[in-house]
Structure 1
Amino acid sequence: MRYTLVITMMATLFLSLPSYAEDLNYNLYQLSVSAEDEIDNDIMKVTLLATHQASLSSEANKVVNKQMTSALEVLKKTSNIKYETGNYQTQPIYQNQQIAGWKASQEIELKSADFNQLSTLVGKLQKDLKISSMGFEVSKVVRQKAEQRLAVDALSQFKAHALLVQKTMGASGYQIVTADVNTGSSRPPIRYSMMRSEMAMASDSPGPAVEGGNSTINVSVSGQVQLTFN
């Protein structure tokens, strides 16, 4: 678990303001603390693309529709894999500023917690479809648990540093004026290797080799504390 701390002193006394405003803006310290941890990615996402070029748009669409229908038939027989079709496009292909053909394409996104099953399935679907993108993420349930745990750690650190400022400055006490809790995450570059579609069609490989890696989940707490002196 890693923590970071930023302390900014705000001890400006505004003499022109009423006394209650002076009390509010006097002996203020800005604290910023964050706690983070690396969490294993437990969800794999793959976007596949059905695409075909032909002289007629109807022919290009016909082939893409056939490829996608075939893929959906395979997916309907599987379990533990979520999928949904996405962007469908038909675009002209120009040559010498004239339409020389048409290209049709459609995406389908697959998502699963079973990396091996999804990888094997992708290998089968690569006979007709191409891999457009592949990624990994932390599931919502796992993320929420990590964020709750880190929030407790960050808030504890915020209180500990507020107490440290109090003791260091010789104050008799402190009170929290504001406190904001924010969450975030980042992922390192995805580590995986995959074959081109042509290679997959010519081999008996079950699919791309994958490694989910991890994501860094962080929770930050920032706010103001006011020192009190007797």
Structure 2
Amino acid sequence: MFALALSVGASTMTLPVLAQQEGDDEPKGGKWPQASLRAEASEQIAQDTVRITLASEVSDATQSAVAKSLSKTLQSVMDDAKGDAKVKVSSGNYHVWPMNNEKGKISNWRGRGEIFLKSTDFAAASELAAKLSDRMPISNLDFSVSPQVRAKHEEALLTQAVKAFGQRAQALTDALGFAGYSIRNIDLSGAGAQYQPAQRMVGMAADKSSVPLEGGTETVTVSIRGSIFLQTTQK
């Protein structure tokens, strides 16, 4: 699905890539009139990557006891998680903090550590998370579009956006009764992604069965902003 937009105004854009040269083709006493245009192309893309956050929380009387217990769990889970080549494993947040009683004194210590599982193979990531759930249960799921897939779609969208910009520039030129146009400057950019999260379940069953994972979609957009010279005569 492609969405195209046009706006006309007096402002001009930065980052010139192609400029009109001043010379005999310019009207006497001033420059050609200018117009600012915008065009964009969008497409819904299925999210093909999942990041599962595994977390462990511990509590003990001393800071060292909390750190030792948490580090032992993290190291154990990290060692087992690295055995699956389909899933990328990395360390997440790690934090140890004191808990105070009503008198403001430290009563005990708590700690929390995370490990991230990232993969384009949802089944493999789910099975690995289930395997590790007795030591570090799932605390969060995030879905996204991989950089490789995003780049491929943005390349196709760029062609569509450039074509739309040219069509809009010509339509504006014709509507205002000018003979032609030339590009003054152009700025190309992505317009960001709109997320449509899918239904997702967090937590593990007692028998360590894998969690069903299903990604949503993202609206990937490529936009073009620029300005043109409106010419009274053809070059």
Alignment correspondent of 1:72: 78
Structure 1 residue 207: deviation in Å? 2.8
Counterpart among 49, 61, 85 of residue 55 in structure 2: 49
In 2: Cα distance, 1:57 partner to 1:193 partner: 33
The residue identity in structure 2 corresponding to 1:169 is L
What are the equivalent positions in structure 2 for 1:1-230 lying under 5 Å apart?
A: 1-10=1-10, 22-23=30-31, 26-96=32-102, 97-183=104-190, 184-195=192-203, 200=205, 203-230=206-233
The residue identity in structure 2 corresponding to 1:192 is R
In 2, are the aligned partners of 1:61 and 1:90 still within 8 Å (CA)? yes
In 2: Cα distance, 1:221 partner to 1:107 partner: 40
In 2, are the aligned partners of 1:4 and 1:35 still within 8 Å (CA)? yes
In 2: Cα distance, 1:68 partner to 1:44 partner: 21
Structure 1 residue 44: deviation in Å? 0.6
TM-score (norm 2): 0.85
Aligned alpha-carbon RMSD (Å): 1.9
Structure 1 residue 88: deviation in Å? 1.9
State the SS of the aligned residue for 1:193. Answer: coil
TM-score (norm 1): 0.87
Alignment correspondent of 2:18: none
In 2: Cα distance, 1:53 partner to 1:110 partner: 25
Structure 1 residue 112: deviation in Å? 0.5
In 2, are the aligned partners of 1:194 and 1:207 still within 8 Å (CA)? no
Q: Number of residues paired by the alignment?
A: 216
In 2, are the aligned partners of 1:135 and 1:190 still within 8 Å (CA)? no
Cα deviations by residue, 1:62-99 (Å, 9 ceiling, x for unpaired) = 22122112212211221111111132211001111111
**5+ residue gaps, structure 2:** 12-26
In 2, are the aligned partners of 1:194 and 1:209 still within 8 Å (CA)? no
